[in-house]
Amino acid sequence: MFGKWTRRSTLLVAIGAAGLLLLIAAALFIVRRQADAAPVRAAFSDLLRDLDRGAVAGIVISGDELDFTRRDGTTARTTAPANYVTANPDFIPGLARKDVRIDVKAPRDQSAYDYGAVLIAVLFVGTLGFALYRMNSGRIPALENKTRAADREASTVTFDDVAGVDEAKEEVRELVDFLREPGRFAGIGGRIPKGVLLVGPPGTGKTLLARSIAGEARVPFLFASGSDFVEMYAGVGASRIRKLFKDARRHQACIVFIDELDAVGRSRGGTSLSHEEREQTLNQLLVEMDGFAPNQGIVVIAATNRPDILDPALLRPGRFDRQVTVGAPDLKGREQILRIHAKKVAVDDRVDLRQVARGTPGFSGAELANLVNEAALHAVRSGRQIVTGGDFDQARDKVLMGAERKSLTMSEHERVTCAYHESGHAVVAALLPHADPLHKVTIIPRGRALGVTMQLPEGDRHTHTREFLEAQIAILMGGRVAEEIFLRQMTSGAGNDIERSTEIARRMVCEFGMSPNLGPLAYRQADGERGAGISESTAQRVDEEVREIVMRGYETARQIVDKRRAAVRAMAEELLVVESLDAEGIREILGRSA
C-alpha cells in the first residue's frame, strides 16, 4: 500500500505543479491587463493647473478619487484632499463655467474582492480537486469497494484439484451441500454454520480450498483480503465491511471469503492510536457476523496461519462456528498432490511418484508444486522435453539443500577439510541405530553451506524419542570430531552444527522434560524466552544438563569415528574425486571398510 500511495502522491505533485504554473501565468496576465487599463496617476496640483489653463475636457468624481480627461485625449487619476469636493461649494460650479463635462460615480468599495484574485482561487481549488478525482480514478477513497465476486464460468478449480487435505475438504463439502440443499438439514432443526475458519501453516492449500468452493458452489462467492479493509483513512475499513455484507444480503444464499483474516482480526487492546482504525473495522465485522442484522444464508469463510493472535470474540460459536485445520499432507496426500501437478508437465511413465512422495516428508502442497516445477525446469535446462526421476531428485536436493554454488571456488585445503567434515557426519549417521537413513553426501557448496549431509526419514514422523534426538546431536558432532582426529584442527565450519546441537539439547531439558536430574518440568515460558521465570540456581543446572547432553553426543561421535577411521578416510578421498555420493555409494564404501 505504501508503494501505491507514493506513486499517487508523485502524480498529485506533478499535476499540482503544472496547475500552479498555469495559475501563476494567469495571475500575471490579469495583473498586466489591469495595469494596462488603469489611468496614469497624477498629482492634485496637476489637475488644478490644467483647470486654470482650460486643458481639462471632462472629470469623473468618485468620492475623493478624480479621473480627468485632457482636451488632447490623455487621461489621469488623482486623489483630492479629504472632503475637498464637499467642503468647496464653488468647485463644481467652477468646473461647469470652464465647460468641463462632470460625471459623478459612487465611491469604490475597498472591501470587495478583486475579480482576478477570486478567479485565481477558483482555478487553484478546481485544479486540486480534479487532480484528487483523477488520482482515485474518479472514486472517493472512503467509498471504494475492493470486494470481488468470483465468476462462475472463470472458476476452474474444483474439489478434484484439491488433494492431501481430505478431512478439511469433507468439512467444506458439507458446507456447500448445506447451501445447495438447505431443506435437507433444516428438516431436523439443523442450522447452517455462520463461519468457518481455515487454519494451517503457509502453503498447505487454504486459499486453494476456498477457490475450489467457488468452483463447486452454485451460489454467489464474494472474496476479499483482510488487508483490503485496513486503510489510512478513518472509518474506511468499517465502511467496506458494511458494503461487503450489504452486497451479500442481496442474495438468498452467499459465501463470503476473507483471506489473511489476521490482518484485520488481531486481538484488540493496547493504547496505540494506530490500532483505532483496525479495531473499528474488527468491531464492524463482529457486528455483521452476529448482530441485529439478519444474515440467513450468508456463510463467512476465512483463512489464517496465525490463529493465536485472533480476537477471542471472532472465535466464539455464532461467528466462526468451525475451525478446520489444513495441515501438511501425509504420504498418501503428497502422492495425490504430485499426481495433480504432474498432469501439467510431461513426466516419464517410469517415474515412481510414490517414491518421490516418500522422499519429501513434511512438504506442504505449495512446496510439492514447486518441486514439480523445478523438475520440469531442470529437464528443459538439460535439453529434454520429458521429466525423469533424476530431474525430481535434482529438484528435491535443490529445495532441501539449496542451489549449487558452482561459482564458489574453494582452496584445496578447504576441500579436504569439507570432505572429512561431511564424512564424519555420514559415518556417524550410518552407524547409529536410531538415525534416519542417509540420502546423499556432497562437498559441492549449496545455499550457505560448503557441504551437505542429507538424511531422509522412511516415513512421516510427528514425535521424536530421546534416542532419536541424542542421535541427531551425535551426528552433528561427527563433523567436528573428524576434523580433530584426521586434520588435528578446529574450523568455523562446525559453527552451525554446534548451534543446532545446543538448541536440541536445550529443548530436551527445557521443553520435553528429558533430563533425569531436572525432571518433567517446563523451563520456558509461553513467550519463548529461555530460562524466564526460573531461579539463578535452576538456570545454572539447566546449563549443566544441556552441556552434559551435548558432550555425551560428542563422545558418542568420537568413539564411532575413531573406530571406523578407514571408512571416514575412504569416504573423504572418494568425495574429493566425485564430490557427491548417494546412499548406494555410501553403503558400498562402508562395506569395503568394515
Q: What is the pLDDT of residue 128?
A: 66
> Which positions ≥6 away from 212 have C-beta within 8 Å?
157, 158, 159, 161, 162, 169, 172
* Residue 524, all three cell numbers: 520456558
30 shares a domain with 45: no
Q: Could you tell me if 400 and 359 are in contact, meaning their C-beta atoms sit under 8 angstroms apart?
A: no
Q: Residue 143 falls within a domain, yes or no?
A: no
Cα distance between the two ends of the chain? 63
Contact 108, 60 (CB under 8 A): no
Positive or negative, the CA dihedral 508, 513, 516, 521 is positive
Do 436 and 463 reside in the same domain of the chain?
yes
304 with 453, same domain: the answer is no
DSSP lists the bridge partners of residue 323 as: 197
| CA distances in angstroms from 285 to 21, 227, 245, 416, listed in the order given | 47, 14, 9, 63
Extract the C-alpha cell encoding 385.
Answer: 522435453
Report d(CA 306, CA 260) in Å as an integer.
9
Residue 519 placed within a domain: yes
Confirm whether 536 is a catalytic residue.
Answer: no
310 & 459 share domain: no
Look up the CATH number of the domain holding residue 380: 1.10.8.60
User: Does the residue 381 lie in any domain?
Assistant: yes
Rounded mean pLDDT for each run of 10 residues along the chain, 594 residues in total: 45 59 65 59 77 80 78 80 72 76 67 56 68 53 57 68 84 80 72 84 86 79 81 71 85 84 80 64 84 72 88 86 87 89 89 86 88 92 90 85 74 91 93 88 84 82 90 95 93 91 94 90 61 76 94 95 92 91 89 78
Of residues 216, 374, 422, 470, which has the active-site annotation?
422
The residue assigned the cell 524466552 is 529
pLDDT score for 113: 45
Rounded Cα distance between 444 and 423, Å, is 13
Asked whether 319 and 286 are in contact (CB, 8 A), the reply is: yes
Cα–Cα–Cα angle for 455, 456, 460, nearest 5°? 140
The count of residues in the chain is 594
Residue-range definition of the domain harbouring residue 12: 2-36+113-138
Say if residue 117 is in the same domain as residue 12. Answer: yes
Domains held by the chain: number: 5
Query: According to the 3-state scheme, what is the secondary structure of 455-480?
Result: ECCCCCCCCCCHHHHHHHHHHHHHHH
444 and 506 fall within a common domain: yes
Looking at the domain assignment, is residue 406 inside a domain? no
Pair 393, 416 in one domain? no
- Cα 249 to chain centroid, rounded: 30
Is 220 in the same domain as 291? Answer: yes
Inside any domain, residue 197: yes
Q: Does residue 58 contact residue 51 with C-beta atoms inside 8 Å?
A: no
Q: What is the pLDDT of residue 140?
A: 47
Note the pLDDT of residue 10: 55
CA angle 60, 61, 64 (to 5 degrees): 140
